[in-house]
Amino acid sequence: MQTHTQDGREPAVKTGLFGYQLLTDPRFNKGTAFSQAERDQFELNGLLPPAIGNLDEQVSRRLQVLRSFETDIERYAFLRDLQDTNETLFFALLIENLEELLPIVYTPTVGEGCEQFSRLYRKPRGLFLSYPQRSNIERILSHPSFDDVRVIVVTDGERILGLGDQGAGGMGIPIGKLALYTGCGGIDPSATLPIFLDVGTDNAARLADPLYIGWRHERLRGQEYDDFIETFVDAVRRRWPNVLLQWEDFAKNNATRLLERYRDRLCTFNDDVQGTAAVATATLLAAMNVTGRPLAEQRFAVLGAGSAGCGISAQLTHALVEAGVNAKEARGRFFLIDRDGLQVEGAKEYASFQRPFVQAAPVVQGWKLEQPDRISLLDVVRNAKPTVLIGVSGQKGAFTQAVVKTMTTNCERPIIFPLSNPTSRAEATPEDIEHWTGGRAVIGTGSPFPPLTRDGKAFKVDQTNNSYVFPGIGLGVTAIDATRVSDGMMMAAARALAAVSPALGNSKDSLLPPIASLREVSVTVALAVALQAHSEGLVAHPVATDEIEGLIRRAVWVPRYRPYTRGR
């Protein structure tokens, strides 16, 4: 594809596609919006109905059809098909209806989309790089259609949301994430590439399914797995030296390990570890305006000691240190609970990313416990008296009435964040938390929930969705050609989001801006990220700080139909 300007008018797109080829390419298809001149030039007469429409009419028509379906998985399948048919129309529809469609394009509906991926699969999108094809990865990536790629989201499908190993169905996650990079962050869709690394699956139901589209093999581990990842990363670095690579939904034993291995070799981050931490930190910083209790006085119980729980704890530790708390004391404020109970010295062997938050044995001496051989979440809440309760466990209902009520005995305004998604895996519902605390809790969730009723009015439940930060991170990184994603850049993203909290102006307002404003929020986050990268010297080319905002705003892609001219 090439562009050129015709007599000062909007730049035209030059393409060699015509006829059915043009109509079946989602990047170029306009459907009924092709002008009569384009229909003549590209041999489309007869292939389209005679009425010539426009993008607004098409959005209205598609929205009516979308709303006619009875279930969200039907809506999800409809939108996926639309994306694979006409990208411009898909993104115009998404951007104009973000609040309504984000829960369908991504969490929680994308979870069911991953479970049913093999049945829903119709058209190719992104790349499936399977272990048997490992010697061909570099050749696969070399196709000219990928020349403009700037952002990659990659998964191996082992830990999809709270649903576990979905094998090739995990491809739904990179597709959904990149739709939000464009819809919320304005990344040109032609610059995005979803990738699934197929190393097999241990999901027996998927392997037994005759319709399963992935590699029918048990999941590879150990050196074979590491060598495959290394082959992939090396091929990516050679193909796109300045690409932003986002790791997504890798199991906890791989997520942090791979991030640490590759974060200094290419521009990369893990959204489960760092993105979740950034949005959780931002929401907590905003919550301080509601509770009136500063960050330096908070104590944290975190249910779920995997990559997300430890990532949140690490970033909040950094924030505590910035607030003046001694580093050792800051780490001691975190009580991480996994399936075996509180992580405490001597209980078992812990992964390297968990060790900073393992409590010293003397801390729990004298605690009154429900069971002498295990320290439960309720034990932690009763004895450690946390002011903040965070759930990233994927355990539905784990925040019991007893746990939540005990939080209120220790703290006038407890902060309670059941962040697991999809909705079916939430540790508690906002309605229950509201009831059990008498409306005293400050609530944030990982998935969307209906509004609560406060003082006779509907009150929006804040969804601490990663889409508040990762699209802006991508926009900031790509706009200035950042070479790395640093911890400082992630903290800058968190602080930028906290700075636009409606609760700053009114403590009774929401913690996070409305979903409908995510395009502008992403620009705000992008600017903070880009300025931090610039201050750390993490940019590929010299750029003046006063030029950065302009670069970011000019980089924002807007869905519109541009005129076409035929040629190669």
Contacts of 473 (CB under 8 A, 6+ apart): 269, 275, 278, 485, 489, 490, 493, 525, 526, 529
Q: Flag whether pLDDT at 1 surpasses 90.
A: no
CA distances from 179 to 16, 78, 168, 173, 265 (A): 26, 14, 18, 10, 26
Choosing from 30, 76, 106, 212, which is the catalytic residue? 106
pLDDT, position 422 = 85
Q: Decide which of 497 and 370 is more confident.
A: 497
pLDDT, position 481 = 97
pLDDT, position 524 = 98
Angle, nearest 10°, between helix axes 72-83 and 87-96?
Answer: 140
Q: What is the mean pLDDT of residues 278-300?
A: 95
What digits encode the pLDDT tens for the residues 470-518?
999 999 999 999 999 999 999 999 999 999 999 998 988 999 999 999 9
Q: Flag whether pLDDT at 10 surpasses 80.
A: no
Q: Flag whether pLDDT at 450 surpasses 90.
A: yes
pLDDT, position 346 = 85
Q: Flag whether pLDDT at 2 surpasses 70.
A: no
252 belongs to the catalytic site: no
Nearest to 398 by CA among 412, 373, 381: 381
pLDDT, position 11 = 81
Strand partners of residue 445:
463
Query: Cα–Cα distance between 18 and 566 in angstroms, integer?
Result: 8
Q: What's the mean pLDDT when you consider all of the chain?
A: 95
Query: Cα–Cα distance between 236 and 243 in angstroms, integer?
Result: 8
> Residue 297: how many CB atoms within 10 A of its CB?
13
Same fold: 2-52 with 107-265:
no
Choosing from 30, 76, 131, 177, which is the catalytic residue? 177
Q: Flag whether pLDDT at 305 surpasses 90.
A: yes
pLDDT, position 279 = 97
Identify the band that residue 410 occupies on the pLDDT scale cut at 50, 70 and 90.
Answer: confident
The DSSP element (H or E) to which 225 belongs, if any, is helix 222-239
Structure tokens at 121: 């699969």
Percentage of the chain lying above the pLDDT 90 cut: 91
Q: Flag whether pLDDT at 3 surpasses 80.
A: no
Identify the band that residue 4 occupies on the pLDDT scale cut at 50, 70 and 90.
Answer: very low
Is the domain defined by 107-265 classed in CATH 3.40.50.10380? Answer: yes
Percentage of the chain lying above the pLDDT 70 cut: 98
Domain boundaries, the chain: 2-52, 107-265, 275-464, 468-555
CATH of domain 275-464: 3.40.50.720
Q: Flag whether pLDDT at 319 surpasses 60.
A: yes
- Could you tell me which CATH class the domain 2-52 is placed in? mainly alpha
Q: Flag whether pLDDT at 135 surpasses 60.
A: yes
Q: Is 385 left (phi over 0), alpha (psi -120 to 50) or beta?
A: left
pLDDT, position 442 = 96
Q: Is the Cβ–Cβ distance between 23 and 44 less than 8 Å?
A: yes
Q: Which residues are annotated as a binding site?
A: 159, 248-249, 272, 421, 465
Provide the residue type at 467 as one letter.
Answer: S
Nearest to 346 by CA among 326, 367, 360: 360
Q: Flag whether pLDDT at 55 surpasses 60.
A: yes
Q: Flag whether pLDDT at 451 surpasses 70.
A: yes
Query: Cα–Cα distance between 246 and 244 in angstroms, integer?
Result: 7
Cβ neighbourhood burial of 542 (10 Å; 0-12, 13-18, 19+): exposed
Q: What is the mean pLDDT of residues 89-104?
A: 97
pLDDT, position 9 = 56
Query: Cα–Cα distance between 256 and 305 in angstroms, integer?
Result: 12
20 belongs to the catalytic site: no
Query: Cα–Cα distance between 97 and 56 in angstroms, integer?
Result: 13
Question: What is residue 416's three-state secondary structure?
Answer: strand
Identify the band that residue 199 occupies on the pLDDT scale cut at 50, 70 and 90.
Answer: very high
Q: What is the mean pLDDT of residues 25-36?
A: 97
What digits encode the pLDDT tens for the residues 60-83?
999 999 999 999 999 999 999 999
Q: Flag whether pLDDT at 308 surpasses 80.
A: yes
What digits encode the pLDDT tens for the residues 210-251?
999 999 999 999 999 999 999 999 999 999 999 999 999 999
Q: Is the Cβ–Cβ distance between 522 and 306 less than 8 Å?
A: no
What digits encode the pLDDT tens for the residues 420-434?
988 889 999 999 999
- Whole-model pTM: value is 0.93
pLDDT, position 282 = 97
Beta-carbon-side half-sphere exposure of residue 420 (alpha carbons within 13 Å): 25
Identify the band that residue 162 occupies on the pLDDT scale cut at 50, 70 and 90.
Answer: confident
Q: Which residues are annotated as a binding site for (S)-malate?
A: 159, 421, 465
Query: Cα–Cα distance between 377 and 427 in angstroms, integer?
Result: 12
Query: Cα–Cα distance between 166 and 461 in angstroms, integer?
Result: 29
Identify the band that residue 8 occupies on the pLDDT scale cut at 50, 70 and 90.
Answer: very low
Query: Cα–Cα distance between 151 and 242 in angstroms, integer?
Result: 9
pLDDT, position 7 = 38
